[in-house]
Chain A
């Protein structure tokens, strides 16, 4: 009987590894196609570009305003671009997803935009060139009511102001 169980388990394991190997290529493409790490959006669906290779936005985890490694890389590129184009000023627009109360989300959006601003400043961009506005949950880019849509909406977007 015990042996039977073991065989059964082996069978299940084998079966799964078969399924996994069969789909391996598909899952990777799906991941690259714009999914999440933890609950931070890592895709490029909604991203626009300030200049060649300079993405305009960074994404956040739920309730968080901490910059991820990927976000810091994006912001360093933005800083380099801003240093090269010293006449440009920007607005950082902070946003939250729809799963929070309106007022708290306004504060959270402001906190997110400021954490992006602080990072740009540590890379030499003067605070006089950066203004900040929070839209809270008022301006989602994705109207979906699912974790992926929410992850795209938790963002700080750098917008050229002049």
Chain B
């Protein structure tokens, strides 16, 4: 629904002739000197402002959109948005032709300008990205959408800017599905919740009548798979978040759990527990055919496909303790890849294909880390009392996960929160949520 309402109509006004000489942001290492960027308020006519205020109850939508862009760029850790108070040139004039000296004077290296107006009750937005030092336009785009999508406009601009400056796709026009938690630790009430990547537009998808866990997005559409204890029968469910229609996945005589989609979105891979033994199964969502992938008396769980669909990483205790294994998608050639000290769980294949993120427990501490798909090159990104369940941003640059706090001597002070960290190990951030939160899963980009 959202995608149909958003049409990018004008792919650019002027493209730069030579891109090579222009500014570029290196995202492969921890960025200790983020690029100073000026994000001017998008300007609009007084008349449009009034109309939009009536519809959306926002005084200055152009300013709000520019704030979304500033916040996204700042959260990425790669950019340092400058204070608008310092700007010397007015946004409407700058959008036509920036006086680059003015922007250079306040130490901006990149400048974003734009305008918003109403056209046949649709929001028309255009923006430009300028290289201040080279004195050149780097990118210009215009698009229309329904006014209520105005926050997404800010995210799409952020993605385009990020992509132009880093050379990689952004991750701002995305959503996070997670489990919202409330109540005492021994009686947690859990609901499925979804929000924009920046924490806005939170919606609750279940009422909290039954326990729900581990929601995951389909990488190709707006379907979600998760575990629900509906009627006290823990089973994997499939939910269409646009229609709200849900169904049980398969007909298993026991608990199914740890679901994820295949990269093409056509299969669900999950664990099925029977008689004390958990093995990995897939179900094809089109023909409903169920296939058993592992057959081993140990616990096999937390399966995750490689992005090409040819391999599966999973968690097994067949060596005696929880370790990470990789096998072909037909279950053949099982190889253990985690050999460091401690226990390993929750392998998740990077969308770029080169890394597997995991949770590690060693000497009473929990770590989120990454290793290459052959298990070499292990890097621990963050250490804490309890944290687990990393999920990749669609560009494979950021991991989101959840942390739980240690309770005090009275058993109080428990909380669960979402956090993110860059692949570099820098830029660790708390993701604000309305309630406590766990089990985050990052969607694909909503628009491209």
Chain B residues within 8 Å of A33, by CB: none
Interface segment among B17-25, B97-105, B159-167, B275-283: the answer is B275-283
**Cβ B255 vs Cβ A102 within 8 A:** no
Q: Is B188 at the interface (CB under 8 A from chain A)?
A: yes
Q: Which of A10-18, A21-29, A103-111 contacts B (4 or more CB under 8 A)?
A: A103-111
Residue numbers in B under 8 Å from A107 (CB-CB): 257, 271, 273, 278, 299, 301
| Category for how many chain B residues contact A | 35 or more
**B224-245 vs A, Cβ < 8 Å mask (1 yes, 0 no):** 0001000010100000000000
Q: Determine the interface band of chain A, counting residues with CB < 8 A from chain B.
A: 20 to 34
Interface of A, secondary structure class, is mixed
List residues of chain A with CB within 8 A of the CB of B234. 106, 133-134
| Contact A104–B407 (Cβ < 8 Å) | no
Q: Among the interface residues B211, B232, B278, B438, which one has the most CB atoms of the partner chain A within 10 A? A: B278
Contact in complex: B273, A110 (CB < 8 Å): yes
B411–A142 CB distance below 8 A: yes
Query: B414–A143 contact, CB under 8 A?
Result: yes
- Assess the A138–B211 pair: CB atoms within 8 A: yes
Interface membership of A124, Cβ < 8 A: no
Tell me which residues across on chain A come within 8 A of B184, comparing CB atoms.
143
Q: Are B315 and A101 in contact (CB under 8 A)?
A: yes
Q: What residue in chain A is nearest B184 (Cβ atoms)?
A: A143
User: How near does chain B come to A67, taking the closest CB pair, in angstroms?
Assistant: 12
Contact B276 A102 (CB under 8 A): no
Does A139 have its Cβ within 8 Å of any Cβ on chain B? yes
CB distance from B192 to the nearest CB of A (A): 15
Establish whether residues A106 and B411, one from each chain, have CB atoms under 8 Å apart when the complex forms. Answer: no
- Asked whether B345 lies within 8 Å of A104 as measured between CB atoms, the reply is yes
| B residues in contact with A145, CB < 8 Å | 385, 406-407, 411
The residues in B between 185 and 234 inclusive whose CB is less than 8 angstroms from any CB of A are 185-188, 211, 213-214, 227, 232, 234
Chain A residues in the interface with B (C-beta under 8 A): 63, 65, 98-104, 106-108, 110-111, 113-115, 117-118, 133-135, 138-145, 149
